[in-house]
Structure 1
Amino acid sequence: LFLCFQLAEGLIYQSWRDEAKELVDLVSKPHFMSFLFVHDSVAQRDFEPTLPPIPDDVLDSDEDTVKYVSLYKTKEPLGATIKRDRSTGAIVVARIMRGGAADKSGLIHEGDELKEVNGVSLEHKKPNEVLPLLDCSQGEVKFKIIPASSSGEMSPHKKKMFLRPLFDYDPLEDPAVPCKDAALVFKRGEVLQIVSMEDDTWWQACHLGDSGTRAGLIPSKQLHERLLILLLINILMTLCPNIASLFLAGLRRSFRLGRKSSWAREAARAKRWSTGIHRTFTAPTYIEVIPHYRNSTDRHRLVALVGPSGVGVSELKRRLLISDPDHYGVTVPYTTREKRKQEKDGVDYHFVSIHMFEEDILNQRFIEYGRHKAHYYGTSLDSVNRVMAEGKVCLLDVHPSKIKHVYTSEYKPYVVFVKPPRIEELRLTRRRAKFICDEENKNSVRIFSEEQFEDMIDSAETMENQCGHLFDKVIVNGDIAVAFRELKADLKRVEEADVQWIPAEWICPSSPTKARRSCGYLGGWI
């Protein structure tokens, strides 16, 4: 206010230009003067908290350092977990959940020993005996703490990490989670922001966009892999201990189908599983993703549809193409056979010589290829580039093991896995549905046998176990009309998204997710 008076006084002695007059008039207005008066009054006050006096017994304490902390507790937990130190029996802070009240205060750290809560000694108490003391506390909660000898705080400038889980997780259904209230619920495909990986078993994460809220526990990659392996072993040991070494053998399928088969048939299935799934089994965990901001000049992402034979991949691709032929396009395959009378080169097939076809094989220009009746057939990267150059979404129908040829930042494939439903629904829907199985004979209809149903489910499980880390979307095709609507809506959502989350390996191939030191046993949640 005093400076304002000085300013007005100085302007009076200046030449009375219009600007000076306007400024003097402004600072002289009553509401402006009142505003400055309130500012001066507030600025002169002391808003620092008044600390309570140090208790008398602290001066006589044998501990080197004692700290008293007061936190205000609402209905939400304070955001920390506690455990009992096995060597000393003391109650210590095991984890600080990022974004919780304890984390925001900056007064409690991992490793701090809790001596008292609201004046109640915690000596000789267990974690489950401490929790009721906090549950019944409302408002201010006072802690007597012996600080940890070393600080293990994370750097605030640490690089952000985002993961996309490849499985659904509900802590209420997880017997291994130490504290269900501290865990995070998530679905496959959601993007999680990782805020702490210092524990080898339980990481801390939050949903994308919720970084300001309290973080939750999620199973680490190593822990989830171990739990899946143990679960599979337990299933097999329960069903047939005599062939436990086969792990995921065919007896599990016969149990699922609820029908008996001969031992020879089961042995053949077991061999197929042991050489297929068991040897290449990878537990679906997480993949690291990064945001990609699409420009208007960028090409559309390649859409790869994968699934076992007979599940309806070709039918879904056909319906997408018919629904919007100006937006979706398909590749024209290459072949070395002779062109038939009614066929057009570049429309039905690209007809090339054997020499040219084999040269493209050596140059790795084919996504997949094979031979039929002494003739080569294949899908070339050149045909994919032609579709994308037209500004269309290229629909690719390949085996998931061949996706690696286009799994790059150039094509940015969005991989949709079409999965069969349960065997009962499969029998019901496929036997009354009509699928065109021969492009040259539009009147032919595929009829499925029981054996084909079983092979379809087995093949889907093999694909998911071996290539599940590549799948962005999983669609269960029970009803083809429902599956088509879900697929088209999902593709529209991906195209219209301002930010698309792509695997980090496309941009940074050497960015593995690593776990850090373990924080030990989790005892309770406060």
Structure 2
Amino acid sequence: MSGTESHTHREEDYRFLHSMLMEKKLHLLFKIHERLKRFEKRSPVPVQEHAVSLASELAEELIYQGWRDEVKELVDLLSKPHFKSLLSVHDAVAQRDFEPSLPPIPDDVLDEDEDSVKIVSLVKTKDPLGATIKKDKSTGAIVVARIMKGGAADKSGLIHEGDELKEVNGVSLEHRKPKEILPLLAHSQGEVTFKIIPASSKEEMSTNKKKLFMRALFDYDPNEDPTIPCKEAAVAFKRGDILQIVSMEDDTWWQACHLGDSKSRAGLIPSPNLHERRVALQRPKALFKPRRVKPPGGQPVFPVIEDVDYGAITGIHVAGSRRSFRLGRKSSWAREAARFRRWSAGVHRSICPPTYIEVIPYHRDPNDRHRLVVLVGPSGVGVNELKRRLLISDPDRYAVTVPHTTREKRRQESEGVDYHFVPVHMFEELILNHRFIEYGCYRGHYYGTSLDSVNREMAEGKVCLLDIHPSKIKHVYTSEFKPYVVFVKPPRVEELRLTRRRAKFVCDDEDTNPVRVFSEEDFEDMIDLAESMYSQYGHLFDKVIVNGDIATAFRELRADLEKIDEAEVHWVPTEWICSSPTKARRSCGHLTGWI
């Protein structure tokens, strides 16, 4: 809202308040209030407490006193509705009968086998009443299975889990199914009256529970879930959404609401147990869809060492930005097919899908180290170029790690700038001590990125940019580094054809054709690999950037990284800040209906 609009609204509010305060009726009410307060101090005692009956008796007496004009006028006055109401209010005040009275319970309400019955009336709005119902298998009774936090039933405090519903708006629920009860409520307007037998015992919920927040690690759409008790009672969410968990008492369905909606009604979300069982029983098509592989006898594929060589186009090279320890991108058709078979069999044997992770708001203290920035993406998508542009844009802020290698230093290379050149025994000792985030062997030489090199850059107060395969994020996913993971995603294939027409791959120096352009198969493989990465590791990504235009993607990335150190709060795993995350408390329950 602009300043002019805000000023206009304030003027309108002022005029409304001024006109209301100047109302004559309001001033009369003030005078009445002052008079009543004076009478209250005197503690007046009513002369009579039954003015209504006296007026009625007086009217009857006057009828027999002759029909003179004065008598007729007085009888008319006593019979007027306003005067009768005034006398009725007088009697209520005189008898101090201020509390509202409920109608008596019908004689047929209490059954012989019932201890007590409640009559509960709730006002129905557009939203559901906020309770789920089920049929007790042993007794056949309709009982309240779950009270949704923040709903009308929860706010009333009159309906509890385990209560048995006997009637709705006077209609008996005996021998009815939960799905037959829902239309009764759907067609109810205004007030809804329940006849309830309270549960014999209720577990009181603690009001001092700490707020619990979870980041969703998968997408959920209740409209596509055939097992949800009621779609209207569910909460839809996307991977990465922050949810406030309201209840984890049910082993199958938790109650939650989106961050910022804590005052609204909570809804159902699948519990981790339910989601894990569901994925274990159903083989996801996305996990077992084979990637496109090269048929036997096809054109040989050159091993690709780096991303798109934007440096060759612009003539700018940033030291320390290579990824020479990466193995070739492609293998033969037989090797690729065998690798896929091993991978799919391993996934089928042990599926443990990501569900939720407990998170906590985090704001970096000026004295803390910068968060590690991890850039991931398929080969050719432009990760190296984005990293290179960040380094050039602000070399005092951003830094990259210097890889280790066991090969000999070349004439144009410098120790500690291009690589750390170490002997084989030292490199293997670092491997045994788990000091490498990522390493590999290429043409008989080791290449790798060490944890020490990351710590060294971060200790100097810089934002360290790390480019690794997403499977290696686990090595830095700790409170020490607090990584901020950015996934660089390719655009659609049509846009790739336009933006990568002249971009080139740089292959191994010993190849006869060290530089080549993208092929159609490269584009397809890039998109397939990106989908595979997101499917397997997407729950670790904090930001997804589509690199269609490199300049646009760079501006988006830089603006996002600058927000990390500003006042913006980020949600990080609780275990990064606290010693141990909260353990979920669970109890069994099965929901069958929503009211």
The alignment's TM-score, normalised by the length of structure 2, stands at 0.69
Q: 2:142 — aligned with what?
A: 91
Q: 1:61 — aligned with what?
A: 111
**Aligned counterpart for 1:248 among listed residues 284, 288, 292:** 288
Shift of 1:124: 2.7
Distance 1:215 1:56 in 2: 36
**Residues 117, 455 of structure 1: CA spacing in aligned structure 2 closer, same or farther, 3 A cutoff?**
same
Distance 1:227 1:157 in 2: 33
Deviates more, 1:475-484 or 1:181-190: 475-484
Q: Does 1:310 align with 2:380?
A: yes
Q: 1:273 — aligned with what?
A: 340
Rg larger in structure: 2
Matched letter for residue 179 of structure 1:
C
Distance 1:344 1:104 in 2: 70
**Residues 336, 121 of structure 1: CA spacing in aligned structure 2 closer, same or farther, 3 A cutoff?**
same
Matched letter for residue 286 of structure 1:
Y
Q: 1:144 — aligned with what?
A: 195
Distance 1:439 1:389 in 2: 34
Q: 2:77 — aligned with what?
A: none
Matched letter for residue 343 of structure 2:
G
Query: C-alpha deviations, 1:175-221, integer Å up to 9, x for none?
Result: 33331211112222121111111222221101112222111111222
**Aligned counterpart for 1:428 among listed residues 469, 490, 497:** 497
Q: Which runs of 5+ in 1 are unaligned?
A: 1-30, 237-246
Q: 1:24 — aligned with what?
A: none
Matched letter for residue 397 of structure 2:
H
Matched letter for residue 111 of structure 2:
S
Q: 2:571 — aligned with what?
A: 501
SS of aligned partner of 1:86: coil
- Equivalent residues in 2 for 1:141-220 (5 A)? 141-220=192-271
Shift of 1:478: 4.4
Distance 2:296 2:123 in 1: 65
The answer on whether the counterparts of 1:294 and 1:498 sit within 8 Å (CA) in structure 2 is: no
The answer on whether the counterparts of 1:308 and 1:459 sit within 8 Å (CA) in structure 2 is: yes
Shift of 1:97: 0.7
SS of aligned partner of 1:56: coil
SS of aligned partner of 2:517: coil
Distance 2:98 2:541 in 1: 54
The answer on whether the counterparts of 2:178 and 2:592 sit within 8 Å (CA) in structure 1 is: no
**Residues 431, 95 of structure 1: CA spacing in aligned structure 2 closer, same or farther, 3 A cutoff?**
same
- Equivalent residues in 2 for 1:375-524 (5 A)? 375-421=445-491, 424-425=493-494, 428-429=497-498, 431-432=500-501, 434-435=503-504, 437=506, 446-507=516-577, 511=581, 514=584, 516-523=586-593
**Aligned counterpart for 1:337 among listed residues 407, 411, 417:** 407
Query: C-alpha deviations, 1:405-458, integer Å up to 9, x for none?
Result: 221111100112233455x447635652515647999x9765234544454445
Query: C-alpha deviations, 1:327-357, integer Å up to 9, x for none?
Result: 2221122233343333333322233444443
Matched letter for residue 274 of structure 1:
R
Percent identity between the two aligned chains: 66
**Residues 296, 114 of structure 1: CA spacing in aligned structure 2 closer, same or farther, 3 A cutoff?**
same
Distance 1:266 1:436 in 2: 21
Distance 2:495 2:340 in 1: 22
Matched letter for residue 339 of structure 2:
R
Matched letter for residue 353 of structure 2:
A
**Aligned counterpart for 2:122 among listed residues 71, 76, 89:** 71
Q: 2:100 — aligned with what?
A: 50
Matched letter for residue 432 of structure 1:
R
Matched letter for residue 467 of structure 1:
Y
Q: Which runs of 5+ in 2 are unaligned?
A: 1-30, 42-92, 298-331
**Aligned counterpart for 1:296 among listed residues 357, 361, 366:** 366
The answer on whether the counterparts of 2:499 and 2:549 sit within 8 Å (CA) in structure 1 is: no
Q: 2:277 — aligned with what?
A: 226
**Residues 110, 455 of structure 1: CA spacing in aligned structure 2 closer, same or farther, 3 A cutoff?**
same
Matched letter for residue 140 of structure 1:
E
Distance 1:434 1:512 in 2: 49
**Residues 100, 435 of structure 1: CA spacing in aligned structure 2 closer, same or farther, 3 A cutoff?**
farther
Q: 1:27 — aligned with what?
A: none
Deviates more, 1:48-57 or 1:184-193: 48-57
Count, aligned residues = 471
Q: Does 1:128 align with 2:179?
A: yes
Query: C-alpha deviations, 1:65-124, integer Å up to 9, x for none?
Result: 211222222222211122233343332212111111111222111121111122222223
Distance 2:98 2:569 in 1: 43
**Residues 93, 486 of structure 1: CA spacing in aligned structure 2 closer, same or farther, 3 A cutoff?**
farther
Distance 1:308 1:47 in 2: 78
Distance 1:385 1:47 in 2: 77
Tell me the C-alpha RMSD between the 2 structures. 3.8
Shift of 1:54: 3.6
**Residues 58, 189 of structure 1: CA spacing in aligned structure 2 closer, same or farther, 3 A cutoff?**
same
The answer on whether the counterparts of 1:249 and 1:273 sit within 8 Å (CA) in structure 2 is: no
Distance 1:519 1:289 in 2: 26
The answer on whether the counterparts of 2:501 and 2:518 sit within 8 Å (CA) in structure 1 is: no
**Residues 153, 143 of structure 1: CA spacing in aligned structure 2 closer, same or farther, 3 A cutoff?**
same
SS of aligned partner of 1:232: coil
Distance 1:127 1:414 in 2: 48
The answer on whether the counterparts of 1:116 and 1:143 sit within 8 Å (CA) in structure 2 is: yes
Q: 2:163 — aligned with what?
A: 112
Matched letter for residue 190 of structure 1:
D
The answer on whether the counterparts of 1:282 and 1:466 sit within 8 Å (CA) in structure 2 is: no
SS of aligned partner of 2:437: strand
Distance 2:381 2:139 in 1: 60
